[in-house]
Structure 1
Amino acid sequence: MKPIPIFAAAASLILLGAAPEPAPAIPPSEGVYRLPYADATRVSVFDDAATHRPLGAVDLVGEPRGADRRHRIVAAADGVVMAIEESFSEQQSGRAAADCRNNYLWLSHANGEWTLYSHMAAGSSSKAGLKVGSRVRAGQHLGDEAAVGCAMLSHLHFEIAVPHATTPIDKGGFLTDNALRQRIRVPRFCGVADKTVRKDAFYTAAPCR
């Protein structure tokens, strides 16, 4: 399958007469994944792979929204827990990503891709019985949606990547060797038209068949 180019909008540059720099071409994921919310959860897309900054990730929101809602995040496919950070509880919207203290969980999958689940509630992965090395099945509870770290609202930041073989992530949970987004893959989801989620659209989480 050919890579799918994703182009960033650059209206301000066009108005100034400067040609915008083309966005990196980010290929689609090899695997097809379920939406990473508990079955029957209504999910909206705050940012898709083309509108998210940086490119390639997606921001998903469990519906209905509200402080009293605690939507369950689940594994998008069978995998192994490679890293967990769940000690933070502060929302830090507006800070640079490198300055945020964010909760995250990385899963590795048999096809060589990893999936990232970010901004989950403090301690919720331990409450789900997980630790590094745990094997999980698609649809298994990983933690709870929240707004920990650099987050404007309670949501799930979801990425798919093919990480560096020896140093996949740094101490902050960010991919290494990824300056040009070369490690990122555009997520493909089962049960979704064209397997691609779109900004402001709504979907219902369900197992892949």
Structure 2
Amino acid sequence: MLGKPIFAIAAAALLASNGPAADTPKIAESEGLYRLPFADGTEVSVFDDAVTHRPVGAIDLVGEPREGKVHRVVAAADGIVMAIEDHYSEQQSGRAAADCRNNFVWLAHPGGEWTLYGHMATGTTSGKASLKVGDRVRAGRYLGDEGAVGCAMLSHVHFEVAVPQASDPIDKGGFLNGNADRQRMRIPRFCAIPDHLVRKDAHYTAAACP
């Protein structure tokens, strides 16, 4: 069973309209329970949660402090490396997503869910982390460094949980295929967080799941 369906609706839009917009996608919570994808002890702020992110369903997490420190990104759960792109270096904030060249890692997890780690720093996944497609990783395994490559206003990790289609799951840009209505997205649930859902502007400390 997937988690209970929730409406991903920004609070401001809800207040303005006195109800959900007719075209707001209904997205289920993840079946898996994940750790925050930063090294243990990292303070993490939420730039956008699954409600406020556009498009809805993904979240943007920022390692704190934002300046003067390299933040290590880690696997949110045990899994297999399904895709790596880490040779781009340009920050392209302001362009349409389809026109940006982003660095990313996709991991597949038991049960059919995948996780995405986007905007990774150039060369850190295949270089510093020495990862390649097909590698098995444990939760907390170093995947590379937080970056601002592609469509990014600031250094952060764009994090998604999804259930890709079995055939041709992602395109060359790392985007999910067959996801026009966000039907393949899942709202990420995290361990050691009240009700398991992160909230915009909240701060949390990354740690292993119990």
TM-score tier after normalising by the smaller chain length = over 0.9
Matched ranges for 1:94-113 at <5 A: 94-113=94-113
Give, in angstroms, the shift of residue 180 of structure 1. 0.2
TM-score, normalised relative to structure 2: 0.93
Letter in 2 for 1:120: M
Q: Distance in 2 between matches of 1:171 and 1:103?
A: 11
Give, in angstroms, the shift of residue 88 of structure 1. 0.4
Conserved? CA contact 1:7–1:22, under 8 Å? no
Per the alignment, in what secondary structure is the counterpart of residue 159 of structure 1?
strand
Q: Distance in 1 between matches of 2:201 and 2:35?
A: 18
Letter in 2 for 1:87: H
Give, in angstroms, the shift of residue 4 of structure 1. 1.3
TM-score, normalised relative to structure 1: 0.94
Letter in 2 for 1:100: C
Partner of 1:2: 4
Deviations 1:60-82 (A, max 9, x none): 0000111x321000000000000
Deviations 1:32-70 (A, max 9, x none): 00000000000000000000000000000000111x321
Q: Distance in 2 between matches of 1:7 and 1:164?
A: 25
Partner of 2:148: 147
Partner of 1:34: 35
Per the alignment, in what secondary structure is the counterpart of residue 195 of structure 2?
helix
Q: Distance in 2 between matches of 1:129 and 1:6?
A: 36
- Segments of 5+ residues of structure 1 without an aligned counterpart are none
Q: Distance in 1 between matches of 2:70 and 2:81?
A: 22
Conserved? CA contact 1:85–1:105, under 8 Å? yes
Deviations 1:154-174 (A, max 9, x none): 000000000010110011110
Conserved? CA contact 1:177–1:183, under 8 Å? yes
Deviations 1:71-117 (A, max 9, x none): 00000000000000001011000000000000000000011100000
- Segments of 5+ residues of structure 2 without an aligned counterpart are none
Q: What's the RMSD between the two structures over aligned residues?
A: 1.4
Q: Distance in 2 between matches of 1:190 and 1:2?
A: 17
Give, in angstroms, the shift of residue 140 of structure 1. 0.4
Matched ranges for 1:1-209 at <5 A: 1-8=3-10, 9-10=12-13, 20-66=21-67, 68-126=68-126, 127-209=128-210
Give, in angstroms, the shift of residue 10 of structure 1. 4.2
Q: Distance in 2 between matches of 1:188 and 1:20?
A: 24
Q: Distance in 1 between matches of 2:151 and 2:176?
A: 17
Letter in 1 for 2:8: I
Count matched residues: 203
